[in-house]
Homo-oligomer: A and B are copies of this chain.
């Protein structure tokens, strides 16, 4: 089923020379930020308009050709991995910011625009697109929509789903579905954008999107605090939520913080002696009032014994330095690699118990275990990294099986924000009901009956 010459020539006549990559232009690329696996496909198609995407999709429909979609290829669930039987359709040339409405606070943008380009365009109008990821320089709007990307500020502004107002998508047969809604309220029939958001490219490919913007905050208050117990941590979260300005509540277990602090003296704001560390951030529009409110929060937390010690940032530089403690994947990779990473949701009230149970289960299965835990606790999202020695990657399945077993026991979610991709699809049926999976299959079948779009993504092989 590899791409044949006839189809390739037809596609080439639609997208032109700039729209077609072959040979080394394909093999020099990466589908995956961890393994740097190149596409094994014969060609990468780069249309320059929705019309070109639709024509290419219609041709592939007629030829029963499988397609894998590429945005920025920064996803960590293997959703962009392309095999010899696939062609790759990349949105990279469709990267224009079409327009911005500063009163309605929306932006119309092509799906290939990077998150960073969108953020910059919003900022030039005094606005903010709230989704923020470490990979924003490469991650595209289309990719973040397909995977319903999260990030650090979900507690305030929600996931990508909450920040998309409308979209245009092309279906498997080339049909263009345009719902470029700009209204906060619109109940005119099914909200089709919801079907495409988070479906990981299995129902169609997003070509344009209307994004919701918010006024760019003018204040940022950040503090790094040590927390004496899990009970205190939960109370601290409840207290922090009483600030409408709250924009992040990031928790680091001691194992995570000690590792970071040990290997970088510039990322050691407090002594790593207590069980939990928290980065709290509030962003608002009121210089005087917001600082007062944040200080009151810290004072009350201290008086009630919810934090043992706290370092409030005195400058934007210091705030950025505190964020570097939380975003220390460079240290994790260097000091703990290779490791298997997890991205799960659990009942916040049982988060400590959950992490302890994961550790216990790992120690029962493996002789050497090193693990660290951190995450967006305000969103019930915990990340865990697991290392069991130099051959960790060879034992990936056993490690995953062990951890996901505990996730199941706790009624947790297989993936909070990274998505299923190709990496987790074999575990999917353990984490949702057979009826839910069958219903997903019915919808998939309605829009892509031959499973040609991202064919190895999300669904287990036999679903």
A contact set with B: CB distance below 8 Å: 101-105, 147-148, 150, 154-155, 158-159, 161-162, 171, 175-179, 181-192, 194-195, 197-199, 214-215, 234, 237-238, 241-245, 284-286, 289, 292-293, 296, 345-349, 376, 378-381, 413-420, 428, 431-433, 435-440, 442-443, 445-447, 458
Contacts and interface: CB of A to CB of B under 8 A. Distances in A.
A2 B148 CA distance: 45
B104 A175 contact: no
B189 A420 contact: yes
Contacts of A234: 103
A15 B52 CA distance: 55
A195 B195 contact: yes
B419 A103 contact: no
A215 B242 CA distance: 7
Given A191-B194, A433-B178, A185 B439 contact: no
A243 to B, nearest CB: 7
A199 B458 CA distance: 24
Residue among A194, A245, A414, A420 with max Cβ neighbours from chain B (10 Å) = A194
A413 B180 CA distance: 11
B185 A159 contact: yes
A443 B446 contact: yes
Contacts of A105: 241
Contacts of A187: 147-148, 198, 413, 415-420
Nearest to A203: B190
Nearest to A204: B439
A59 B37 CA distance: 52
A246 to B, nearest CB: 9
A424 to B, nearest CB: 8
A161 B409 CA distance: 29
Given A347-B182, A417-B185, A190 B238 contact: no
Given A103-B348, A189-B458, A443-B443, A183 B380 contact: yes
Contacts of A101: 347, 349
Question: Top 9 A-B pairs ranked by shortest CB distance?
Answer: A194-B194, A446-B446, A183-B345, A185-B416, A242-B285, A244-B244, A184-B379, A186-B413, A188-B414
Contacts of A199: 190
A186 B445 contact: no
A348 B104 contact: yes
Contacts of A432: 179, 188-189
A155 to B, nearest CB: 7
A81 to B, nearest CB: 18
